[in-house]
Structure 1
Amino acid sequence: MKNIVILISGAGSNMQAIVRAAQQERWEQRLGARVAAVLSNRPEAPGLAWARAQGLATEVIAHQGFACREDFDAALQARIDRYAPALVVLAGFMRILTPGFVAHYAGRLVNIHPSLLPAFSGLNTHERAIAAGCKFAGATVHLVTAELDTGPILEQAVVPILPGDDAAALCARVLSQEHLIYPRAIAQLLSKM
């Protein structure tokens, strides 16, 4: 069985889209894959309750309890490895990961970013795209590398920036596309494993 471990920091709407796709598209039967666990660095992350309600294993590794980023990543890695993951999926996991962590999961660590990479890596992507006068924004699913938001692109969705858009309106339209392309990109990766 190809286990998927999903990391979240908040509501986990992309995690929910992935779990629903796995159920509806019968990943276990078709791809020999399942979501094995949902882990969070925030005990209060609302997505944990949703995951538990789906019968998924959940764990919390609070980053505040560690002296440095390397110690947190080592503890997180140890927890993830208990599930023998084929893929580790970042779904709103708001932590920059250390090079050692990224190297450990090379080729198996996936992220989604709310812009058309390589444009607007990092934070505040919607505000920055609007301020730059862009006509289009979007989302990118990519493999994670040690350099922030630069890994190989697996899938993208383009979303028009409409007159009068603010960051919240654009964010909502981009997020709806994220929920479509993230599960699709993961299924494609799994089919090649």
Structure 2
Amino acid sequence: MIHIVFLASGNGGNMKFFHQSILDDLITGVRLTVIADRECGSIYYADNNNIQNYVINYQRSATLELSTTLQKVEPDIIVTNWHKIIDKNTVANYSGRLVNLHYSLLPVFGGLIGIEPIQRAYSKGCKFIGPTCHLVDEEVDSGTILAQAVFPIIIPLEKSIDLMFRKGCLVLLNGIEIILGTNLARHRSISGGMYSPRLTFNESVFDEAFWQKVALA
């Protein structure tokens, strides 16, 4: 059983993607935990769906609660979805297991959070955008790139934000499979579709009905 821990500050869209994938039997052998640095949508969702969760106090100068909680839950992968830079000791202790998802084709627009990279890409007239899954190191958005996707800016901003979220979830799953060297998604096939490296699971099983369930979660 692969244990994926989400460090959360917001509504937990990526965590909800993984949970819905488990419910729909699209990924197997995975269990989830949420560790939040505040009361937030991720915690409310976890409470309502019997997902192990913790709310802790965390600052780069106050790391005891995080280190204690991580030692307790023993994660295989940590997804860093909270709005803080991780301290160097945590990065060192979990090197190779800390993963981040960024909404730009890094190294472009590194250091921006949330949808800010998408907005910046539109304002700068970029022709292509996409998500990046990368390992976390001591610098901001500078860790080894694991996986990316790309799509053209030919749609309104709001539609790009939704498409970025969807492709980002698949890129995150792809990156985690790369780190673990194992398959989590059940339906295997080669998907091109402007992913690098190409997905080795069937993108089409994550259909519109699936994404609507994630959106409504």
TM-score range, shorter chain: 0.7 to 0.9
1:155 aligns with 2:147: yes
Q: 2 CA distance for matches of 1:158 and 1:99?
A: 31
Residue 112 of structure 1, aligned match among 101, 106, 109 = 101
CA distances 1:121-143 after superposition (whole Å, capped 9, x unpaired): 12221122112211011100111
Aligned residues: 179
Q: 1 CA distance for matches of 2:159 and 2:61?
A: 37
TM-score by length of 1: 0.83
CA distances 1:42-68 after superposition (whole Å, capped 9, x unpaired): 11x1121222232211110144xxxx5
- Normalized per residue, the structure richer in helix is 1
What is the 5 A alignment of 1:48-67?
48-63=43-58
Residue 37 of structure 2, aligned match among 36, 41, 56 = 41
Identical residues among aligned pairs (%): 34
Q: Equivalent residue of 2:61, what SS? A: helix
CA distances 1:29-88 after superposition (whole Å, capped 9, x unpaired): xxxx422x1111111x1121222232211110144xxxx5221x3321211221111111
**Structure 1 residue 101, shift from structure 2 partner:** 1.6
CA distances 1:71-121 after superposition (whole Å, capped 9, x unpaired): 1x332121122111111112x311111122211110010110000111111
Q: 2 CA distance for matches of 1:26 and 1:118?
A: 30
Structure 2: stretches of 5+ with no match in the other structure: 184-217
Q: Which residue of 2 aligns with 1:27?
A: 28
Residue 124 of structure 2, aligned match among 116, 129, 132 = 132
Residue 68 of structure 2, aligned match among 73, 78, 81 = 78
Tell me if structure 2 keeps the 8 A contact 1:3–1:34.
yes
TM-score by length of 2: 0.75
Tell me if structure 2 keeps the 8 A contact 1:18–1:182.
no
Q: 2 CA distance for matches of 1:162 and 1:74?
A: 46
CA separation of 1:126 and 1:81: change in aligned 2, threshold 3 A? same
Q: Root-mean-square deviation (CA), in Å?
A: 2.0
**Structure 1 residue 155, shift from structure 2 partner:** 1.0
1:185 aligns with 2:175: yes
Tell me if structure 1 keeps the 8 A contact 2:4–2:76.
yes
Q: Equivalent residue of 1:179, what SS? A: helix
Q: Which residue of 2 aligns with 1:9?
A: 9
Q: 2 CA distance for matches of 1:185 and 1:107?
A: 11
Structure 1: stretches of 5+ with no match in the other structure: none
1:172 aligns with 2:162: yes
Tell me if structure 1 keeps the 8 A contact 2:104–2:132.
yes
Q: 1 CA distance for matches of 2:151 and 2:36?
A: 29
Tell me if structure 1 keeps the 8 A contact 2:57–2:65.
no
Higher relative contact order (CA 8 A, sep 6+): 1
Q: 2 CA distance for matches of 1:154 and 1:135?
A: 22
Tell me if structure 1 keeps the 8 A contact 2:146–2:178.
no
Q: 1 CA distance for matches of 2:27 and 2:123?
A: 42
**Structure 1 residue 26, shift from structure 2 partner:** 4.4
Tell me if structure 2 keeps the 8 A contact 1:41–1:62.
yes
Tell me if structure 2 keeps the 8 A contact 1:134–1:161.
yes
